Amino acid sequence: MTTKASTSRPSYPQVVLQRGRDKNIRARHPWVFSGAIASVKGEPALGETVEVRSEHGDLLGMGAWSPQSQIQVRLWAVGRATIDRAFFAEKIQAALKQRQALGITARNTAYRVLNAESDSLPGVIVDKFGDWLIMQALTAGAEHWKQTLAELLMEQLPCKGVYERSDVDIRKKEGLSTTTGLLAGEMPPACIDILEEGRHYRVDVLNGHKTGFYLDQRDNRSAVEHYAHGKTVLNCFSYTGGFSIAALKGGASKAINIDASQTALDLAAQAAQLNGFTSEQMENIQGDVFQLLRQYRDEGRQFDLIILDPPKFAENKSQIEKAARGYKDINLLGFRLLKPNGLLFTFSCSGLMDSNLFQKIVADAAVDAGCDAQIIRKLDQASDHPTRLAFPEGYYLKGLICQK
C-alpha cells in the first residue's frame, strides 16, 4: 500500500501529513482535512493532482488539491497511480459494469452512473435521463477534470449529450462559482420522459432539483407501490409526484400531493397523464406542508398511507438540534393523520442525521401522538447510489415504514 519516494518517478506537489494522521488514509478513507496537514511541498493549483505522504515520506495516495476547503485533499487513488484520461476511463467503466450487473440499466432509462466518493470519483455526480447525462462537479478535482469526464462518458455510454448542473452552493466551499451549461454533445430538452420500474415520469433536467429527479428513492417508490393497493395516500413534500405515481401503479384509490412548488406539481400532473391516471385519482395541492397537515389534523382527516420526504433539514452539525425538532413535528402530525393500521413512510436525506437518532425522533413522535407504532421495514438509497465501505459519509438517505 505504501512506497518510498523514488527519484525516477514524475514529480508532483506533495502534501505531507502530521504525525499519526495517516490512519484514515491507510484505511482507504478518501478525505484529508486541513488540520491533518503538516506541510505542502510545491505550489499545486486548484484541483491539481498531489501526492499525499506520511511524516516518514510513505506515499499514501494521489488526490486533488483544494486549498480553500476544510477537506484540502480528496483522494483519487490509494498508493501510486497516474491520474490521467486512462485512469478516469477505467473508473467510469467499472461503475457502468456495476450498474449493469445489478440489472438497473436493463429495467430503467434513468439511473445514477457515477456516485462521487463511493465510485472513487470524489465530487463527481452523473445521472442518466434517457439519452442525456446530467453532471454535477462539486469539488475542485471534479471541476479540473470535468471536460475529460464528459468526453469519456460520451464514448463509453452512448448518449446525445452531457449537460452540467453545478448550480449548488457547496462549490463555494471549494472556491468555485456555481455554473450550468453543455459540456459535450447536444443540448437536452427542458424535460425528458423516463421509465423507472414500469413507471413513467417527466423530468426537468435544466431547472429541477439537483439533476432533476430523486433517483435515490427508486427502490422506496417500489416499496410504496407494493403496499398501496386500495389505500388513500398523502404524499408530503411530493416534488413531481414520484411516490404518488408508484402508489397509483400499486392500486391506490387516491393520491394527494402537497408541495410548495407549483412547477413541480405541474410535472406531477403530466406524469399522471403519462401513466394513464386521471385528475380524480391524483390531486395536487400547492402549499406549506406543516400548515396543511395541522389543518387536516384539526379537520379530523385521516389517510391509509402517508409519505414524509422532506428536504434536508441539516446542512451542518450546528443545525442538528433544529433538524431534530423539524422531524419530530412532521412525524407527530403524520402519526395523528394515520388511520389505525395505516403506514407511515418517513425519510431523512440529511447525511448528518444518524440513523439511530432518526429512529428515536420518530419513536418519540409516535409516543406523543399516543400510538404504539411498529417498524415493519427500514429503507435507504437505491443500489446505484452505493456506499463505499471505507466512506460511511456516503450513506445519507434513511427511511422507516411504520405501522400505526
Are β-strands 161-166 and 132-137 bridged in parallel, bridged antiparallel, or unpaired? parallel
Grid cell 443545525 is found at 319
Nearest partner of 81 among 23, 1, 137, judged by Cα = 1
CB 30 within 8 A of CB 74: yes
Q: What are phi and psi of 320, to 5 degrees?
A: -60, -45
Q: What are the helix and strand counts (H, E) for the chain?
A: 10, 20
Contact 228, 246 (CB under 8 A): yes
Strands 71-78, 31-33: parallel, antiparallel or unpaired by DSSP? antiparallel
Q: Is 349 assigned a catalytic role?
A: yes
**197: helix, strand or coil:** coil
Q: Cα–Cα distance between 25 and 30 in angstroms, integer?
A: 7
Q: Which pairing describes strands 161-166 and 338-348: parallel, antiparallel, or unpaired?
A: unpaired
Residue 28 in grid coordinates: 482507504
3-state secondary structure of 195: strand
Bridge partner list, 132: 129, 161
Catalytic hit among 159, 191, 236, 349:
349
> Which residues are annotated as catalytic?
349
